[in-house]
Amino acid sequence: MEQFDENTPMFVISVAAELAVMHPQTLRQYDRMGLVVPTRTGGGGRRYTMRNVAQLREIARLSTEGVSLEGIKRVLELENQNAELKQRVRDLEAALANELMQRPGNRVFAAGDQGVESLQVGQRPSKRTGIVLWRAR
């Protein structure tokens, strides 16, 4: 079974326009301007994703607040860059977790008052017997 997410192209222009409460010609104009660029079918038809529809709604909101189309384009570029970076972080975290799970027991760490210290397998962290005095100010 095929998986669907917010980036799955599934809406033709008329459906996307209806979901975004816009005229299809407005979507074509935004495509030409590079604001919201849908994927294309083999025959050249536009296919919009849920993310595209959310962006179209965001354009409408920003436009009613008086933001220019150039300003909106910059906002969308930054949001897209932010989404890509978040995905990259998630991918790297998953790769790191996978790598650590592939090598169990190779690294052991202990945290203490002096920070994090690396230990050999089977080694115990050194005990500190110092007294720490704390007074409320």
Query: Structural domain boundaries of the chain?
Result: 13-113
Residue 46, beta-bridge partner list: 40
Taking CA atoms, 75 is separated from 56, 69, 72, in Å, by: 12, 10, 5
Query: What is the mean pLDDT of the segment spanning 95-101?
Result: 83
Give me the pLDDT at residue 4, please.
82
Q: Which CATH architecture has domain 13-113?
A: Orthogonal Bundle (1.10)
pLDDT at res. 99: 82
- Backbone phi and psi for residue 6, each to the nearest 5 degrees, phi listed first: -65, -15
pLDDT at 124 over 90: no
For 119, residues 6+ apart whose C-beta sits below 8 A from its C-beta are 108, 109, 110, 125
Q: What is the pTM of this model?
A: 0.63
Mean pLDDT over all residues of the chain?
85
